[in-house]
């Protein structure tokens, strides 16, 4: 990592703040219309859910999940689900924005999205992981799927 990159990242409180700082530089460089810049600074949709899951031992554990749709201007949102203990709203906002920009640069007919579940997947059995994933997808039925964002 260059000194400039390390310095610009350390000056920002969050991953999404870092995305916005880089967006500002790119917008200025390419003389991006101010109104387009305003739109790109805010995610289109952000969802946070609680996911109760029956564990193999018969107890219920509740996991926290997120989904951010940054933009669907170019098409439906594209982006997977991250399973990690450090997943947070800020991270999925940043990763969904980067996916929007990547798709736009590659001229793909997709927008950016990203999901996450706060969990250590290595500590779950295959059955628990499947039940967690199903709980997440059920909770997002209005967010993603056929003919959705």
Q: Is 114 a catalytic residue?
A: yes
Question: Which of 59, 114, 118, 141 is flagged as catalytic?
Answer: 114
Can you tell me whether residue 45 is helix, strand or coil?
A: strand
Q: What is the DSSP string of 105-149?
A: HTT-S-EEEEEEEES-GGGS-HHHHHHHHHHHHHHTTTTSSTT--
Q: How far apart are CA 16 and CA 45, in angstroms?
A: 14
Catalytic residues: 114
């Amino acid at each position: 990592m260059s000194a400039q990159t390390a310095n610009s990242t350390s000056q920002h409180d969050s991953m999404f703040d870092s995305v916005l700082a880089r967006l500002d530089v790119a917008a200025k460089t390419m003389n991006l219309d101010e109104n387009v810049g305003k739109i790109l600074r805010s995610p289109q949709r952000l969802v946070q859910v609680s996911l109760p899951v029956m564990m193999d031992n018969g107890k219920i554990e509740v996991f926290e999940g997120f989904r951010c749709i940054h933009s669907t201007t170019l098409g439906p949102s594209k982006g997977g689900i991250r399973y990690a203990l450090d997943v947070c709203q800020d991270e999925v906002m940043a990763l969904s924005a980067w996916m929007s920009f990547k798709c736009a640069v590659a001229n793909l007919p997709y927008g950016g999205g990203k999901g996450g579940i706060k969990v250590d997947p290595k500590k779950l059995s295959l059955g628990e992981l499947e039940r967690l994933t199903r709980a997440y997808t059920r909770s997002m039925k209005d967010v993603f799927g056929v003919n959705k964002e």
